[in-house]
A and B are shown apart, each in its own frame.
Chain A
Amino acid sequence: MLEPSTARNKYAPCIAACPVHTDTRQLAEFITEGEYEQALELLLDANPFSSVCGRICHHPCEQNCRRAKVDAPVGLMKLKRFVMEATKDYRISRREKPLTIEKRNEKIAVVGSGPSGLTAAYDLVKMGLQVVVFERLETPGGLLGHAIPRYRLPYSVVKEDIDDILSAGVELRTNQEIGKDYSIDNLFNQGFGAVLLASGLSESRTLNIPGIDSKGIMLALPFLKTVLSPWPPVLGKRVIVIGGGNVAIDVARSARRLGAEMVTMVCLESRDEMPGWKWEIEEAEEEDIHIMTSWGPKTVFSENESVKGMELKKCVSVFDSDGHFNPQFDDSVNRTVLADNVIIAIGQRGDLTCVKGGNLKINPGERLECNQETLSTSREGVFVCGELLIGPASSVESVRDGHRAAKAISHYLEKGELLKQPIMELPTLEDLPDETAEKIKKQAPVTIELLSPEIRLKEFAEIERGFTEKEALAEARRCLACTTGALADEEKCAACLTCVRICPFGVATVEKTAAMPEEKCQACGICAAECPAAAIALKRFSTDKMKEQLQRVLDSSTRDTAARPLIISYCCLYEVTSRKFIFEKSESYRKSGIHIITIPCVARLSVPDILLPFERGADALTIIGCSEGSCLYPTAEERLLRKIHQAKQVLEEVGVEAERIDYWKTESSAEVSWTAFWEISKRKLLQIKNKE
């Protein structure tokens, strides 16, 4: 379980909102630092279906991002996708690393290879247990592999995630249908110590209205499954899709791609009540899908047993005063829509075939009896997770329950008892106050244009590309790094008011000692660099990291063997548009004596930080800040210039030339201007040396 990132026990809302609590804030930081592999480890640690979630997650992180109050949320889902795409080779190579955990003898059977079942299987294998996953279809993935259209989620992406899991030692048996090829009793007889039901809601619900058995009527999941097969369904020109949820939208958009010209979605809900995600609805409309809201199906009419259209009745309300689904119609208001096909997408239910011979209790409404906290069923040793447990859910919620199921089963096998795991809401950082939001520099989000609807409709190719590296770095920089702000050490604070006087966001206060209210602090670090008592530290960026880097640089080139002169260059990390630039430049420049240390905002440098390279034997220091107008923090450059001035004075007091410190502003980008700055600094230093 992720620890709260501050002493005050509050989480960034993006992290708290994610069902698996992915540390999205740290993700943005790793990306900024070019540490894509570390970002991958972080993602996979929280969610083995990170490639999938980088494409189709409903991203509650973004919906809760505090940056929304400034301009727009950070594009965290696309950042995740970027990491997954940037580290493909590394991901494959890490599969070779053997698990170090001691093997346990217990065997677990998992029924279903969707995101929850496979997550549980993966976790259990990592705990040393032996796991067999039974899948009734030919390939694994559940609805990810057999329902979600490829324009949203290519199968290769699902496979990336599943390959990790299988290579960890999870055994997969396909074409194995429970209730037909095997039963729960069989599994126990074969020596499995526990069974996990993770077969999801794999059956589409249907309607009971006149004419529903006409030819040309289909159910959503079988339809979507056939769409993905080599023999996609043949549709007429006019198609009605019944339903207003995300599955209905997948169906409608797939129908358009299969050649249907007039696709109409009909749903009971009003536009605001539609359960489909807003962005999915908008994309559907771009593809000329007509949405009829507040209409319910009345009859299907047909000719020669084939569908010809539907009669609809006006739906006046969907939910009753208690919020329960209880649609009310006005039978006198009707409308007729012509159609060659009708596809029903009004929800899914579990296939409870597995219960046959399994001695499992089923509750009214065809729901398996189970405990939401222990994930247990009415039969000992049989557990449940995913949509069978919680009803219709997103992929990431299924992953969360996979994690919970693994813990529940491991605990049961070890202790013989059930483990309670209630889903708890994490305490989050308060909203950004208006007065702070106003002071934060606006930065438009990096947006990716979708393919034009005309091109999209020609095939099932993915409609959205991922971020380029440059785009990802720009977007990651937008993260406000919530909860990583300044923390004052009360014991050291002298209440000198320096922080109050220099905070560019008006955040710091001093009563008895300094305080930087977490909901306001922007983690710029200016107070930490200036505090005369060294009482302020930042979670996000402590100069310790920089000192370690500097020490490594100097250790690797001890005074005698190093290329001379030795120049250290502190550079603003935010100006780099590819990590390759930094890594390769660092390498080539090191040989000529220039050592690059990137820092997320050089305004965070204190006077001791600026002096440190000289103390450790460097001949000169070149500081490169961001380009004109691009710094995120007001007054940062002015403060830096004052600190450089102070450091220069110190040098002069001990007889070292002040010109050994150089300051440059990036021009256009790091790639364009930094090399020139280093060359100039080097020449300047040679002149100083010649004078000696």
Chain B
Amino acid sequence: MIVAERKSLNEIKSFIEDYHKILIVGCGTCTTVCLAGGETEVKVVASGLRIGFLKEDKEIEILEDCITRQCEPEFVTPLVERVKKENIEAVLSLGCGVGVNFLADKLETIPVFPGVNTEFFGAAVEPGVWVEMCAGCGNCILHLTGGICPIARCSKSILNGPCGGSKDGKCEISPDVDCGWSLIVERMKKIGTLHRLEEIIPPRDWSTSHHGGPRRVIHEEMAPPSQKVEETAGKELQDKEGSGG
């Protein structure tokens, strides 16, 4: 799940204080679950902002909404219509960065501001505590590291650890941070595969990660024909070859 944390209201206030009518939009999926941007948080932010503006004697109309997911056109379209119909001047999204981007793309002429800081992909290790577990690098090697990701959970993202900064299972950057490689070693001992660490993991091709530019995933069975260019081209070629022979 994408984990996010609400921005301070002071910062949010600075984004929107020059508008007269704004809409706060929550997201009913990831940011609801991580308690940063669901319908209840929308109410809290709206209330906090109203209190702040009341104190400054500013009259800003603050509307509230929450949609199932801010990253799907079917859920976003009705919201776009509402924004236009009600002459809303700016939108504050409590969805993750994806939601802000996607809303901004769809709304085009109306500014969209982020109400949360998008942090990482993580899991709830305890009620109210989330920990980063995946970096979304596009080339998963968890089969080599006992199911613990060195890219996300090692501070340096090194592929053959631990480094000299590992002490008593903790990382040198903070005694609160577990050493990812120490976790990998202990886990592989438990599952009896420690010997595999003798094989050096070669330097990797980072082009599957963000280093290769913005990425795209296509599921052909669902994607519209416009996304199937290569296959169609190949088929045409085959057809041509067939007719030529």
Residues of A within 8 A of B35 (CB): 496, 498, 532
Identify A533's interface contact among B9, B40, B52, B55, CB under 8 A.
B40
The verdict on B80 contacting chain A, using a C-beta distance below 8 Å, is no
* B43 located at the interface, meaning its Cβ lies under 8 Å from any Cβ of chain A in the complex: yes
Known: A496-B38, A532-B35. 7 other contacts (CB 8 A): A494-B32, A501-B127, A611-B51, A614-B54, A654-B9, A654-B10, A655-B10
Q: Which positions 485-513 of chain A face chain B at CB distance < 8 Å?
A: 492, 494-498, 501-502
Assess the B50–A534 pair: CB atoms within 8 A: no
Q: Which residues of B contact A656 (CB under 8 A)?
A: 51-52, 55
Known: A494-B32, A533-B32, A608-B47. A655 touches B40 (CB 8 A): no
Least CB distance from B117 to A in Å reads 14
Q: B40 touching A606 by the CB < 8 A rule?
A: yes
The A-contacting residues of B in range 199-239, CB under 8 angstroms, are none
CA distance in complex: A419, B201 (Å):
86
A358 contacts chain B at the CB level, 8 A cutoff: no
B40/A532 in contact, CB under 8 A = yes
The residues of B that contact A544 with a CB separation of less than 8 Å are none
B55 touches A655 (CB 8 A): yes
- Asked if residues A534 and B38 are in contact (CB atoms below 8 Å), the reply is yes
A494 CB contacts on chain B under 8 angstroms:
28-29, 32-33, 38
- Contact in complex: A654, B38 (CB < 8 Å): no
Q: Is B48 an interface residue (CB 8 A)?
A: yes
> Which A509-537 residues have a C-beta within 8 angstroms of B?
530-535
Output the least CB separation between B126 and chain A (Å). Answer: 9
Rounded to whole Å, the gap between the CB of A345 and the closest CB of chain B is 65
Would you mind naming 15 contact pairs between A and B with Cβ atoms under 8 Å apart?
Answer: A492-B28, A494-B29, A532-B33, A532-B35, A533-B40, A607-B43, A607-B44, A608-B47, A611-B47, A651-B51, A653-B48, A654-B10, A654-B13, A655-B10, A656-B51
CA–CA, A606 and B43, complex, Å: 10
Docked Cα-Cα span, A502 to B127, in Å, equals: 9
B40 touches A611 (CB 8 A): no
A: residues with CB less than 8 A from B are 492, 494-498, 501-502, 530-535, 606-608, 611-612, 614-615, 617, 646, 650-651, 653-656
Residues of B within 8 A of A650 (CB): 9, 44, 47-48, 51
Closest A residue, CB atoms, query B38: A532
Verify A533–B44 contact, CB threshold 8 A: no
B 32-64 binary contact with A (CB < 8 Å = 1; else 0) = 110100111101100111111011000000000
* A532, B51: Cβ atoms closer than 8 Å: no
CA distance A614 to B39 in the complex (A): 20
B28 touches A654 (CB 8 A): no
A532-B33, A654-B49 known; A617+B54 contact, CB < 8 A: yes
Residues A654 and B51 in contact, CB atoms below 8 Å apart:
yes
CA–CA, A498 to B35, complex, Å? 9
Q: How far is the CA of A656 from the CA of B9 in the complex (A)?
A: 12
In the complex, chain B residues whose CB is within 8 Å of the CB of A501: 127
Verify A654–B48 contact, CB threshold 8 A.
Answer: yes
B55 adjacent to A654 (CB under 8 Å): yes
Shortest beta-carbon distance from B5 to chain A in Å: 13
10 tightest A-B contacts by CB?
A654-B52, A532-B38, A653-B9, A534-B39, A608-B43, A611-B47, A496-B33, A494-B32, A650-B48, A501-B127
B44 lies within 8 A of A615 (CB): no
Q: Mark B65-80, 1 if CB is under 8 A from A, else 0.
A: 0100000000000000
Compute how far the CA of A496 lies from the CA of B29 in the bound complex, rounded to whole angstroms.
Answer: 9
Q: Find chain A residues with CB under 8 A from B32 CB.
A: 494, 496, 532-533
The answer to whether B49 and A611 touch across the interface, beta carbons within 8 angstroms, is: no
Shortest beta-carbon distance from A176 to chain B in Å: 67
**Chain B residues whose CB sits within 8 angstroms of the CB of A654 once the complex forms:** 9-10, 13, 48-49, 51-52, 55
A residues within 8 A CB of B43? 534, 606-608
Which chain A residues border B10 with CB–CB below 8 Å?
Answer: 653-655
Could you tell me the distance between the alpha carbons of A497 and B35 in the complex, rounded to whole angstroms? Answer: 11
Residues from chain B with a CB closer than 8 A to the CB of A535 are 39
Q: Please report B residues at the A interface, Cβ cutoff 8 Å.
A: 8-10, 13, 28-29, 32-33, 35, 38-41, 43-44, 47-52, 54-55, 66, 124, 127
Residue in chain B with minimal CB distance to A559: B54
Asked whether B39 lies within 8 Å of A533 as measured between CB atoms, the reply is yes
Q: Which residues from B are CB-within-8-Å of A531? A: 40
How distant is A547 from chain B, measured CB to nearest CB, in Å? 12
A618: shortest Cβ distance to chain B, in Å?
10
Task: Specify which chain A residues have a CB less than 8 angstroms from the CB of B38 in the assembled complex.
Answer: 494, 496, 532-534
Bound: A682/B85 CA distance, A: 45
Given contacts A532-B33, A532-B39, A534-B39, contact A653 B8 (CB under 8 A): yes
Q: Give CA–CA (A627, B65) in the complex, Å.
A: 38
Bound state CA distance, A608 and B38, in angstroms? 13
Greatest chain B CB density within 10 A among A496, A497, A617, A646 is at: A496
Beta-carbon nearest neighbor of A651 in chain B: B51
Q: Could you tell me the distance between the alpha carbons of A477 and B47 in the complex, rounded to whole angstroms?
A: 33
Is there an interface contact between A533 and B28, defined as CB atoms closer than 8 Å?
yes
State the CA gap A200–B163 with chains docked (Å): 96
**What A residues does B52 contact at CB under 8 A?**
653-656
Q: How far is the CB of A672 from chain B (nearest CB, A)?
A: 33
The CA-CA distance from A653 to B48 in the complex, in Å, is: 8
Determine the distance from Cα of A494 to Cα of B49 in the docked complex, in whole angstroms: 25
Question: A614 to chain B: which residues have CB within 8 Å?
Answer: 47, 51, 54
Bound-complex Cα distance A395 to B50 (A): 58
Residues of chain A with a CB closer than 8 A to B47's CB: 608, 611-612, 614-615, 650
CB neighbours of B127 from chain A (8 A): 497-498, 501-502
CB distance from A486 to the nearest CB of B (A): 15
Report the separation of the CA atoms of residues A436 and B114 in the bound assembly, to the nearest whole angstrom.
44
A132–B48 Cα gap in the complex (Å)? 66
Q: Kindly report which residue of chain A lies nearest to residue B30, judged by CB atoms.
A: A494
| Alpha-carbon separation in the docked complex, A654 to B49 (Å) | 7
Chain A contacts of B8 at CB under 8 A? Answer: 653
By beta carbon, the residue of chain A nearest B50 is A615
- The distance in angstroms between the C-alpha atoms of A473 and B103, with both chains bound, is 53
Task: Give min CB distance, A274 to chain B, whole Å.
Answer: 56
**Most chain-A CB neighbours within 10 Å: which of B29, B48, B55?**
B48
A143 and B201 alpha carbons, distance in the complex (Å): 97
Q: Kindly report which residue of chain A lies nearest to residue B29, judged by CB atoms.
A: A494
| Alpha-carbon gap, A164 to B43, bound state (A) | 49
Q: Are B44 and A608 in contact (CB under 8 A)?
A: yes
Nearest chain A residue, comparing its CB with the CB of B33: A496
Q: Which residue of A lies closest to B43 (CB)?
A: A608
Q: In the complex, what residues of A have CB within 8 A of residue B39's CB?
A: 492, 532-535
Cα distance, A224 to B160, chains bound together (Å): 100
Q: Which residues of B contact A530 (CB under 8 A)?
A: 40
> Complex Cα distance A495/B1, Å?
13
B51 and A615 within 8 A (CB): yes
- Residue numbers in B under 8 Å from A606 (CB-CB): 40, 43
Which residue of chain B is the closest to A611 with respect to CB atoms? Answer: B47
Give the complex CA separation of A404 and B24 in angstroms. 55
Identify the closest chain B residue to A530 (Cβ): B40
CA distance A90 to B33 in the complex (A): 51
How distant is the Cα of A451 from the Cα of B22 in the complex, in angstroms?
A: 69
Which residues of B are found within 8 Å of A492, using beta-carbon distances? Answer: 28, 39
Inter-subunit contact B55/A532 (CB<8 Å): no
**Nearest CB of chain B from residue A565's CB, rounded to whole Å:** 14
Contact A607/B54 with A615-B47, A653-B48 known, Cβ cut-off 8 Å: no
- Complex Cα spacing A615 to B51, Å: 5
Bound CA–CA A139/B43 (angstroms): 63
Asked if residues A611 and B48 are in contact (CB atoms below 8 Å), the reply is yes
Looking at the assembled complex, report how far the CB atom of A649 sits from the nearest CB atom of chain B, in whole angstroms. 9
